[in-house]
Structure formats: C-alpha cells, structure tokens
Amino acid sequence: MLVAFAVPTPAAAAPVGSFTRQALYAGLSRIQANELQGKIDNYIQTYGGRQISANQVEFDGGLYTATVPGELAVRNLSAAAAVDNCTYAAPLYSGWFCAYRAAGYQGDILQWYNCGRYNMPWGGTGSWINNQTQGTPAYLLNQNLSVVNQSFAYAANLSFNWTPVWYVDVCY
C-alpha cells in the first residue's frame, strides 16, 4: 500500500515592489525599506502626491524626500529627481525653497518650486533655505496667516522653530 504525505512548503515571500527593490539595492535592510515605505505611504495618504522613488514623493509644486530610518540626512536612492535643490550641491538661485525637518539642513525635506501656499506638516526645530531666484520672497505663516518669518532669496536659517508655522508661501 502506497501512502502519500503532503509536505508543507515554506510560505512564499511577499512580492517585492519596485520601490522596495530600489531601497534594497541601495543597501537598506528589509526593515528599513518597509519603514521608509510606511513614511512615504503616510505622506501620500495625508497630503497627496505620487511616489517617484523609494524615498521621494512628487506633488503639485514640489517634492517630499524622506530620510532612511536611522539616518539624519536624505540620500539619493534613485536618479528620479535631485535629492536636495537648495544645499551646496545645488546651483545658487535654483528656484527652490527647501524646508528641513531637523536643524542643520538635516532630516526629511519639503522642496517647493511653483508659487503657491503649502501646508507645513511638522513642528519643532528644523531649518530652511530660500534658494529661489534672486530676491524672490518666501513667507512662513501661522494659522491666522500672519507672517512668522519672511526671507528673500538667497537666505537660510540653520535652526528654526517650525511649531508656529502652518503654511509656507513661496514666491509671493
């Protein structure tokens, strides 16, 4: 008599999306890649936009670039877009205003190129660079649309309190 036994097979690994593959190829661990994707998914769900690389979201008027979990500065995980359009690597008067989640031009970056009013999603100590065309203003506004800070390109602030800022007006 012949008896057949079903041999359990290991569960198939979850399929890896192209942005996760990109993150893994860039040297991130699976945990870092998953946490990074969570940050990107959360940003898109809250503010909208379209993911263009493992750590970047393109939205009308600009870019959001997320840091890799456990790292202080953003890094290029693809050639989809420039990582930072405001710091020393960018040309002077590049046309961008960049807001950094942490002081010293560190942490996640919001970068705006198109004129408009944009939500500021974080508080605490961060930094910013106004690298728009020469003399172009940027206004940081509170919840009542009163000016908290204004600058004219080129200007920068290495340590800035984002807490009272609810909106950023670029090139008004």
Q: What is the chain's pLDDT, residue by residue, as a tens digit (172 residues)?
A: 444 433 333 333 344 578 989 999 989 999 999 999 999 999 999 999 999 999 999 999 999 999 999 999 998 887 655 678 888 777 888 899 999 999 999 999 999 999 999 999 999 999 999 999 999 999 999 999 999 999 999 999 999 999 999 999 998 7
Contact 131, 96 (CB under 8 A): yes
pLDDT of res. 85: 83
**Strands of 155-161's sheet in order across:** 50-53, 56-59, 62-65, 106-112, 96-102, 125-131, 155-161
CA 80 to the chain's CA centroid: 13
138 Rama class: left (phi>0) / alpha (psi -120 to 50) / beta = beta
Helix (H, G, I), strand (E, B) or coil at 11: coil
CA pair distance 25, 27, nearest whole angstrom: 5
Parallel, antiparallel or unpaired: strands 62-65 and 106-112 = antiparallel
C-alpha 50/C-alpha 78 separation (Å) is 15
Residue ranges of E strands in 15-105: 50-53, 56-59, 62-65, 96-102
Check if the beta carbon of residue 86 is closer than 8 Å to that of residue 96.
yes
Tokens (6 digits) for 128? 């910013």
Burial 39-67 (b: 16+ CB within 10 A, else e): bbeebeeeeebebebbbbbebeebbbbbb
